[in-house]
A = this chain, B = another copy of it.
Amino acid sequence: MSKHWLQEPEWSWNHPVENQPTFVHHWVQQLKNIKQTPDMILYGAPISRSSISVSGASLYPSEFRRAWKGFATYNLDENVDLTDYLIADAGDVAMHMTDIPLSHQRIQDATTYLAKHYSSTTTCMIGGDHSTTACAVRGLKEAFLNETIGILQLDTHLDVRDPKELGPANGTPIRQLIDGNVVKGENIINIGLHGYFNAKPLIDYANLHNIQMVTLNQARKRGLINILQEALEQLSAKVDRIYVTVDMDVLDISVAPGVPASTPGGMTSVELFDSLLEIGKHPSVQHVDFVCLDPSKDSVVAETVKTGVYAWLQFVTGRVLQLK
């Protein structure tokens, strides 16, 4: 195995020779097969044994690619053809079967490798559980040592539980990054918190470290898009690059049964789609991940997986609009 730990997925779509890529599965190409610098690199981080609750989020990268077939490469709402935007699939980081720290290190190394070799390319990591975000951000820090990183987090949870107690579990990534001096709390903005899903000591920690928290209620009252624009402006004024992490549990449980920690009262899918379009448009955003989606909990219609692909395409559409 190569030292960057990225390996080909177990299966691939067979591309027709002559057709125009009118659907996503014929449009995205394997990184090894392209010669230009891609606009975006996708890579999977298929681990979920680091999840606190039982999770099959490790299955998402494969199901994410399978669901591409149902999506065209044209955004009708924005009248944007995506096919000129070059997306390369770098495959999945090779996970160890039981050694969680080793697997996490590989995600970090793979991210550093991609960031160094494709420094102007947008990266998109497909989790896996939320522990992968800490690895990816550490990997970027290693690649861009002198840069300040800010995080925009869409999440129902703060994810600042104590890694000293839990180890590098999916409830801890933000605290790992703060306690590890990788990202400052004041450079983190969490949008989507609501309800009764963060214990008091976690809120105290967040306040202590000046994490900015915008609850979903507040965002709805002031306009979710406004809030996002302000957040991105504020971060881009302070940091060198913005990492966006989308914990799919920010979605309401009725639209995201396939996310173990989704709750009632969360975002609608339309709110998430609008958010990602806006985020994709912002030039300071260079990295995104989508985590915690467990395809095995979906019903036979694969509703959450489809929502995950749609959300990602909204980000891509934003990127295309930003380039214009």
Contact = CB atoms under 8 A, between A and B. Distances in A.
Interface of A: 8-14, 20, 22-24, 48-52, 54-56, 58-59, 69-77, 81, 83, 96-100, 131, 165-169, 193-201, 203, 213, 215-218, 252-255, 257, 262-265, 269-270, 273, 294, 296-297, 299-301, 303, 306-307, 310, 313
A294 B83 CA distance: 33
Contacts of A193: 76
Cβ-closest 3 pairs across A and B: A98-B167, A54-B56, A49-B49
A317 B55 CA distance: 31
A166 B98 contact: yes
A22 B265 CA distance: 20
A50 B54 CA distance: 12
A217 B97 contact: no
Contacts of A71: 195-197
A300 B74 CA distance: 32
Nearest to A99: B167
A302 to B, nearest CB: 9
Nearest to A307: B264
B265 A273 contact: yes
